[in-house]
Structure formats: structure tokens, C-alpha cells
Amino acid sequence: MGGSAYNISIVHKVSHSKVFLSVWRVINAVNRCPELAFNFPSCHQKQHEIALGFKEKSRPEFGCCAGVIDGMLLWIEWPSKEECELARCGSVKFFCGRKHKFGLDLQDTCGSEGCFLDVCIGHPGSTSDYLSFSTSSFKTKLECPGFLAPGLFYFWQQCLCQLLLYGNAL
């Protein structure tokens, strides 16, 4: 779920900085564990299994989808001057006008079970989904000849919802 570092520090009677140190210890441990890495399968058989999962869940039995791409805003507090210098952009770039929050843009690709297959957090919150995707490592993989099985595609989340529910796109 989540919560303010200030609230967590009060509830657990630890310092505010100790909360952040603990969070980063967990993040670093997860990042070092290869079994937990997000990895869109390059194996065509696995990609077909994902497509079969989408087919079983859709009314029109739409079975050529190997993954669904969507973006979301990861909320953050107003970034400090030091954080902005590290990111090489001003704090305004982290502000998402549509959500009225500061954040980071997360691009994700999910399979038919809703599990992450690929995640990219490489841009501040004001970045469009298109720009985030176009600079992602997943797009680079998709551009490699033979990476995606013939006849399979990936879809943006909004388009796939229309296809799964109604059998037609907007």
C-alpha cells in the first residue's frame, strides 16, 4: 500500500532517515535478485502462452496479444535541488499536470495474468507515455527482428480493453 515516511517513522518509533534507509535496503536486495527481475520472454512458446491467456479471458477470443503496455505516475514528494541536478532537469518536469502530483513516469508491460513482464522508470512525471515508451529498452527489444513471435502483437492498455470487451477498437 504505502504511506508517508513521516507516519511510518512515528508508528515504528524510528527516524525519518531510517525509514528511507530501510526502503532502499529492500529495493537494492530486490534489484540484486535475478529471480525477481522483470523480463519479457524472448521464447516464442512463452509468448504464445501469454497470448493464449488473453484469448481465454476475452469475449471475442482475441488471441494475438503477447503483452499490454501502460503507463502510470509514481507519486513522489517535490524533488530537491540536488535530486533535480542528478536527473538533469528542473522540478517542473516532475509535475504531472493531469494528476496534479509530482512523480516519475513508469512504463510497464503485463501478461494475461496481470504480472509485470517489463518495467521502465526513466522519465519525470510530465513525460508523455509515447516518449517514455519510445526510449524504453522494451521498444528496443521489440525492434529486433525475430524477438516477437510472428502473428503476435503488443497493445496499449486502453485499446486492448476495447478489443477484449467489445471486439472492436475505438
Looking at residue 75, what is its pLDDT? Answer: 87
pLDDT of residue 2 exceeding 50, the answer is yes
Q: How far is CA 50 from CA 44, 55, 62, 103, 149, in A?
A: 10, 9, 12, 31, 11
User: CA 85: distance to chain centroid?
Assistant: 24
Number of alpha carbons in the 13 Å side-chain half-sphere of residue 98: 8
User: Average pLDDT of 115-132?
Assistant: 86
In angstroms, the CA 154 to CA 50 distance is 11
Instruction: State pLDDT tens for residues 133-144.
Output: 888 888 899 999
At residue 27's C-alpha, the angle toward residues 129 and 70, to 5°, is 20
Q: In 3D, which of 158, 84, 160 has the Cα closest to residue 126?
A: 84
Cell of 117: 513482464
pLDDT of residue 163 exceeding 70, the answer is no
Instruction: State pLDDT tens for residues 71-87.
Output: 888 888 888 888 888 88
pTM higher than the cut 0.95: no
